[in-house]
Structure formats: structure tokens, C-alpha cells
Structure 1
Amino acid sequence: MTNQVALITGASRGLGRSIAVHLAKHGVGIIGTYLSASKEADALTREIEALGGKVEMIALDVRDTATFPTFAATVAEKLKTKFGAERFDFLVNNAGHGIHAPLSDVTEEQFDSLIDAHLRGPVFLTQKLLPLIADGGRILNVSSALVRVTIAGYGIYAATKAAMQTITKFMAVELGARQIRVNAIAPGAIATDFGGGVVRDDENVNAYVAGTIALGRVGQPDDVGGAVAAILSDGMGWANGTTFDISGGQAI
């Protein structure tokens, strides 16, 4: 993967951070986005630079599509000045947030926020960045095992992720002429700050969820970061238009 560049949304924390570090360890330059976690973004920059890698962190709210043209122009400029490149190779649509909201209580504001972050944002950000993605590049959309595993209160979130899994197939077909491979991943329960960090921080929840996973534990961010590095590698070059379940065998 040497001399390649990845753009990862939501790279400052959780899964995005692990993905960035794993790719950097394979020699991939990193353009990462963050929403408000500037300290975490700075820490990631220092870690990747300590590995000898190149990294550029850029603030972006993936819910705000009006900012995408300016963001794309910034990416183009950073590619030239920081990485000596005209195009980047990997786009990882990872940024997002979880909202626990049963159908009886969910508000239109919550609904819109989930749609904007997990569906509208990734679709139109990908559209704006397509001219900057190298032919033969790869796009990876981050979905969720909640498309498959039903937990009350996460229905709207899961619905947006199901939509992204469907769109992943269409992206693969429509971008095939450019040899751009498009896949998705569906992580299971991971010990991050998702949902307020309940899986990570609540011992009872952690133990309960671990009991539903064949490997007997909840996932760690590096379980996903390592998997993404493998999926984006040339060795997985014939995988296209599919969703990889990365859950340790949750609720199978």
C-alpha cells in the first residue's frame, strides 16, 4: 500500500482512528476528518507522524452538505502540498453517531440527524470526491451489524445503515468502469464511545453482549481497523459490492 492515500471521515476517535493507524502502519498517507474532537485529532496526527507517516486532519461535519465543495477543494490542495499527489486511493465513509430512540419517541430532528449523517452525507460526499479518487481506487462504507441484529431503539439508525449497504451495491456497479471497488463493513458491538460508551463502560452490558458473540467477547477498535486494512489490500481485489460482517459471530 506504499504511496497510497486514504481519506477517512470521523478519523479522530473510535473505529476511524483505528482504521487510520492500521493503514498508516502499511505506509498509507492519511487525510482524516473530525467534527469537534480537535485534541484527539492532534493526538492522532502525532501518533501517525511518530510512525513515519503523513497525515492531514481537516474539520468536517458530514451532515452539512453545503460545505462539501469547499472541503473537496481543500482535499485537492492538501493532496498536492502534503502528499505530492493529484488523487487519493481509498475513501472510508465512517463518520456518524448513534441515537437510541424508540419509534414511539423518536423526533423528526433525531430522524433528520441520522439520515444526514449516515445516508445523505456519505452519498453526496462521495459524489463530490469522485473526481479526486484514483481509477482503481476503493470506497468502503461503514454500516452496522444492527442491520442484522435487532435491538429496540436503534431502528432508524439501522435503517440508514441498511440503505448504505444497498447503495454500496449500486456504487460498485456504477463505478465499475473506473475499476473502483466498493464494499461495506458491518461491525458488531465494539468497545468505543458509541451510544455513550455503554458497551465499553458498563460491565453488565459488556458481559451480556459478550455472551451473544461466538468468540466470547465484545470487539475492540483494532479488530475493525485490522479488518479494514485487509479489505482495502490488493489481496481482496476481487471482493466488490458486498458487506463484510465483522462481529466476531454476534447473534449467529
Structure 2
Amino acid sequence: MDKFLEGKVALVTGASRGLGRAIAEDFARLGALVAINYASNDVAAQDVLRSIEAKGGKAFLLKCALGSYEAAEQLTEALDKELRERTGSTDLDIIVNNAGGGPVANLDATTPEIFEKIVSDNLRAPFYVTKLLKSRLRDGGRLINVGSLGARTAVPDYIVYAMSKRALETFTIVMAKELGPRNITANCINPGLIESDANAHVRADDGIRSYLEQATPMRRFGVPSDFSGVAVSLASPQMGYVTGQIIEVAGGMSL
């Protein structure tokens, strides 16, 4: 594949593991300079950086636990400093809001602290990162938000998580309208059951795994490259007229 991201700059939040890592590695492989944001896992972050550089890619680390306006300000300041030193500019071409997660609980078990944690991780983080960095996106750039199939399914134990991810979909559509005049696309990718650290306990239970695989038309869990391939596609020059879309990467599980 041609290095169609050569000369581009991408920020991927939550990129030390799982889906974020897969996106960061793919973008770097295609020529982009990748800012790898992560919250706390130094070992995992260094491993991603080494992996990218060993293959001739370009990347750097930005340690910042997102979820507040102040955290987004810290990220922006650190990103600007790194980009000025490396490129002489603070311009970006791609923002991937991947960081997210939080505890799960049903309505009765959701404390104010759990509610605030989930909303901060999944909604405040991408909202404030985008708010502060959208002016740095070059015309023709890409905004990619990472949602969840959980936003479209009624699972009681994921009530706040689902609400926050559904709100992220609305945010994506609004951004598509706002950024469209600059030829910047905004799309949301909703992963289903993709193999990652987050669902290792589910995959370890043969009975649950078999049930979920049978509930998926593809009869398997996805792998990170299934997901990152969609992000790569959205970042390509051929996808400049696709915007405001919610794209499921779930093997047809919600059909």
C-alpha cells in the first residue's frame, strides 16, 4: 500500500494498547507522524513507540489522562511543543478520539462518582480535545471518533456508558456539519466484540465466547486490524466525501 499519509500528522488518544495502538501503528506505517496519547501505562506506551520506530515509522508519546478541560489544555500544550520542534508548525491532519472506557453498572448501582467517571472518559475527553484542536486541523483533514456498538444495544449494566457513546455519535454529526465547509470529514466508528485487553475475561470463558460468536454472523470476534483498517480507510484521500457517518465494525452482530 502506498504511504498516502506521508507528511501528515495524526493524534491518536488512548493509543498505548488495543484499538488505539492498532490505529497508531497503521497510520505510522502509512507515513504519518503519530502523536501517541496515553493515560498511565508507560511500559505499554514505550512498547508501541519502539514497535513503530523499528519499522521505520515516526511517532512520539504524550502522557495525559484525559477527561477534563484542564487535561485537554495540558495535552494541547504538550502537543504544540512537540510539533513545533518536529515540524515547525502546530498543524494536524487527523484527530482520532479513541480514549474511553470506565466502570460499568446498572442504574441502581451507578453512583455519582461512577457516572462522572464514565461521562468524563467517553464524552468530556473527546469533546474538549476536539474543541481545543479543531482549529489546528488543516483543510481536508479528518476527525474520527471511536464509539461503541453498546450505544445501539440495550444492556442494563452499561447504561451510562451507552448514553455517553450515543452522545458521541450526535457530537460527530454536529462536527461533520461544522467542519464540512473546510473539507474536513467527521465520522464515528463503533466497534463490537474486538479482541482486546478489555474483553479478555469474556474470551476466556468458553461458554460465553461460543455464545457471542454464534450471535455474530461472521462467527468470530474481530481483531484489532479489522477495526484499524476502517480508520485507515476514513483517513485515505478517497474518503473525502464520507462524513457524519456511524460505522459499525461488529461482524454484523447488531443485525
Interval of TM-score (by shorter of Structure 1 and Structure 2): over 0.9
- Which blocks of at least 5 consecutive residues in structure 1 are unaligned? none
Residue matched to 2:97: 93
Aligned length: 251
User: 1:84: how far off?
Assistant: 4.5
CA distance in 2, matches of 1:19, 1:200: 22
State the one-letter code of the partner of 2:184.
Answer: I
Verify the 8 A CA contact 1:34 1:58 in the aligned structure 2.
yes
SS in 2 for 1:175: helix
Task: Choose 79-88 or 16-25, whichever is displaced more.
Answer: 79-88
Task: Choose 170-179 or 200-209, whichever is displaced more.
Answer: 200-209
Verify the 8 A CA contact 1:191 1:199 in the aligned structure 2.
no
1:235 to 235, 238, 242: 238
Residue matched to 1:65: 69
CA distance in 2, matches of 1:145, 1:19: 18
Task: Choose 27-36 or 146-155, whichever is displaced more.
Answer: 146-155
Task: Give the alignment of 1:2-81 within 5 angstroms.
Answer: 2-81=6-85
Answer yes or no: is 1:202 the counterpart of 2:202.
no
Verify the 8 A CA contact 1:98 1:194 in the aligned structure 2.
no
1:107 to 104, 111, 115: 111
Judged with a 3 Å threshold, the aligned counterparts in structure 2 of structure 1 residues 189 and 98 are, in CA distance, closer, same or farther, namely: farther
CA distance in 2, matches of 1:205, 1:105: 24
Residue matched to 2:226: 223
Instruction: State the superposition RMSD in angstroms.
Output: 1.4
Verify the 8 A CA contact 1:198 1:205 in the aligned structure 2.
no
CA distance in 2, matches of 1:83, 1:47: 22
1:126 to 114, 117, 130: 130
Structure-2-length-normalised TM-score: 0.94
CA distance in 2, matches of 1:68, 1:251: 33
State the one-letter code of the partner of 2:33.
Answer: G
